[in-house]
Amino acid sequence: MSTSKEQDFLLKSVRIWFNRPEQISHYTHEFIEGPTVAEQYLLNSLPDGSSVLDVGCGTGRISVYLAERGYRVKGIDVSEGLLSVAREISKKRNLDIDFLNLEGIKLPYQDEEFDTLIGFKILCYIPTRELRNENLKEFYRVLKQGGTCIITQNIVPDEYIDDAKDEHYLSSPASEFGILERGDNFPSGNGYVRWFTESDLFNEIKNTDFKIELFESDEEHEGAGYIKLIKLRKPCK
């Protein structure tokens, strides 16, 4: 689908943000920590040796973890800086992972190409419900029938959602955009991220062709309760 100038501006803001040196340094360090307990809980349900697309793979924290366990993995991200780190790490570990830079919403893969799709904390970087819905449709398209989509996403309590309109929000050139939604935020006045409430997130997930198999808090898995763990299934025809 085509995107508006305002949507393009926000998508570009995300790419620029994740190419900043401090972001590359942060996610390179995070790689060392590996999957969280909550993420491992989701990953443990994947069929052995299956094909996986890691959307928003960053420095390859999850991609490398799965490839070392025999999964056939491809990773995709908006940041070429993060991908450079991922490629270097996978090369040093003799792993065959195809890392690809992505711009926009459409995934450059065939219909029903993957058994599993992973999207950890990525929906918040896609502006407008319209584009997030299109992104989830792409997830659905590239999954095989019966395939699994696992997602994590930060949430904020309803009473804090309006705090997104802080001084950074007001300093951003995008603060006057007509497409903005309640909960949109601009880190340091130049990035873009959406704050979700639990109900906002659930309603967006529910408005897809996926079957929701899991939608629960990370509290039961050593989390603080501000991340939702989501498992979706593409039904067999």
The pLDDT assigned to 214 comes to: 98
Residues 214-230: tens digit of each pLDDT: 999 999 999 999 999 99
Domain chopping of the chain, boundaries: 5-155+193-233
CA 195 to chain centroid, in Å, comes to: 14
Question: CA-to-CA distance for 75 and 118, rounded, in angstroms?
Answer: 9
Question: CA-to-CA distance for 161 and 18, rounded, in angstroms?
Answer: 23
The pLDDT assigned to 102 comes to: 93
DSSP letter at 58 equals T
The pLDDT assigned to 1 comes to: 66
The pLDDT assigned to 162 comes to: 95
The pLDDT assigned to 237 comes to: 83
Question: CA-to-CA distance for 223 and 218, rounded, in angstroms?
Answer: 5
Residues 35-69: tens digit of each pLDDT: 999 999 999 999 999 999 999 999 999 999 999 99
Residues 143-161: tens digit of each pLDDT: 999 999 999 999 999 999 9
User: In angstroms, what CA-CA distances link 134 with 1, 15, 150, 228?
Assistant: 8, 19, 17, 21
Residues 191-214: tens digit of each pLDDT: 999 999 999 999 999 999 999 999
Does the pTM exceed 0.95? yes
Give the rounded percent of residues in the chain with a pLDDT score beyond 90.
Answer: 97
> What is the rounded average pLDDT for all residues in the chain?
96
Mean pLDDT of 67-80: 98
CATH tag, 5-155+193-233: 3.40.50.150
